[in-house]
Structure 1
Amino acid sequence: MAAWNEVCRQCVNTVANVPIEILLVAALATLLGLFVLFFVFIFTVAPVPRAPLPEEEKYRTLSKDGTVTDPEQLPSWLEASSTHAITPASLFMSVVIPAYNEEDRLTGMLEEAVNYLERMYGTATSGERTLRNRKPEPSADRGWEILLVSDGSTDRTEEVAFRFARDHQLSLHPKGAAGPWTPQAGEGVHIPPGTIRVVNLTRNRGKGGAVTHGMRHVRGQYVVFADADGASKFDDLGKLVGACRDVEDGKGRAVAVGSRAHMVGSEAVVKRSKLRNFLMHSFHLILWLMTPPKTATVKDTQCGFKLFSRNALPFIVPYMHSEGWIFDVEMLMLAEFAKIPVAEVPVGWREVKGSKLNVLRDSIGMAWGLAVLRAAWSLGVYRQR
Structure 2
Amino acid sequence: MITEVSLVLPAYNEAERIVRCVERAVETLEKITPSFEVIIAEDGSTDETPSLAAELADTYAQVRHLHSDTRLGRAGGMVRAFRVAEGEILAFMDVDLATDLSHLQELIQAIRDGFDVATGSRLMKESDVTRSFKRTILSRGYNFLVRLLLKSKIRDHQCGFKAFRRDMLFEIIDELEDEHWFWDTELLVLAQKKGYRIYEFPVKWVDGEMTKVNLSSDTFEMGSKIFAMRRRIKR
Same-fold status (TM-score > 0.5)? yes
User: Given the alignment, which residue of 202, 225, 231 partners 2:92?
Assistant: 225
Equivalent residue of 2:84, what SS? coil
Cα gap change, 1:264 to 1:343, in 2 (>3 Å): closer
Cα gap change, 1:378 to 1:315, in 2 (>3 Å): farther
Equivalent pair of 1:212/1:320 in contact (CA under 8 Å): no
Q: 1:290: how far off?
A: 1.6
Q: 1:266: how far off?
A: 5.5
Q: Give the equivalent residue in structure 2 for 1:289.
A: 148
Deviations 1:119-165 (A, max 9, x none): 332xxxxxxxxxxxxxxxxxxxx311111111111111121122234
Runs (4+) of structure 1 exceeding 6 A deviation are none
* Residue 243 (1) aligns with residue 110 (2): yes
User: Given the alignment, which residue of 66, 74, 79 partners 1:212?
Assistant: 79
Q: Give the equivalent residue in structure 1 for 2:51.
A: 159
CA distance in 2, matches of 1:94, 1:156: 24
Cα gap change, 1:95 to 1:279, in 2 (>3 Å): same
Structure 2 length-normalised TM: 0.91
For residue 217 of structure 1, what is the amino acid of its counterpart?
V
Cα gap change, 1:264 to 1:357, in 2 (>3 Å): farther
CA distance in 2, matches of 1:241, 1:278: 30
User: Given the alignment, which residue of 37, 40, 53 partners 1:148?
Assistant: 40
Q: Give the equivalent residue in structure 2 for 1:345.
A: 201
Equivalent pair of 2:181/2:222 in contact (CA under 8 Å): yes
For residue 325 of structure 1, what is the amino acid of its counterpart?
W
Contiguous gaps of at least 5 residues in structure 1: 1-88, 122-141, 170-190, 249-253, 380-385
**Quick one: higher RCO (CA 8 Å, sep 6+), 1 or 2?**
2
Q: Give the equivalent residue in structure 2 for 1:324.
A: 180
Equivalent pair of 2:122/2:128 in contact (CA under 8 Å): no
Cα gap change, 1:205 to 1:111, in 2 (>3 Å): same
User: Given the alignment, which residue of 1, 8, 11 partners 1:99?
Assistant: 11
Q: Give the equivalent residue in structure 1 for 2:27.
A: 115
Equivalent residue of 1:91, what SS? coil
Equivalent pair of 2:41/2:77 in contact (CA under 8 Å): yes
User: Given the alignment, which residue of 227, 230, 255 partners 2:117?
Assistant: 255
Q: 1:264: how far off?
A: 8.6
Equivalent residue of 2:138, what SS? helix
Cα gap change, 1:341 to 1:144, in 2 (>3 Å): same
Deviations 1:291-313 (A, max 9, x none): 13xxx211111000101012212
Q: Give the equivalent residue in structure 1 for 2:163.
A: 307
For residue 222 of structure 1, what is the amino acid of its counterpart?
I
Equivalent pair of 1:107/1:160 in contact (CA under 8 Å): yes
Equivalent residue of 1:349, what SS? strand
Cα gap change, 1:345 to 1:354, in 2 (>3 Å): closer
Cα gap change, 1:353 to 1:289, in 2 (>3 Å): closer
Q: Give the equivalent residue in structure 2 for 1:365.
A: 221
Please tell me whether Structure 1 or Structure 2 has the larger radius of gyration of its CA atoms: 1
Equivalent pair of 1:258/1:344 in contact (CA under 8 Å): yes
Cα gap change, 1:327 to 1:333, in 2 (>3 Å): same
Equivalent pair of 2:130/2:205 in contact (CA under 8 Å): no
Structure 1 length-normalised TM: 0.57
Deviations 1:166-211 (A, max 9, x none): 4xx3xxxxxxxxxxxxxxxxxxxxx4x3x21111223212212112
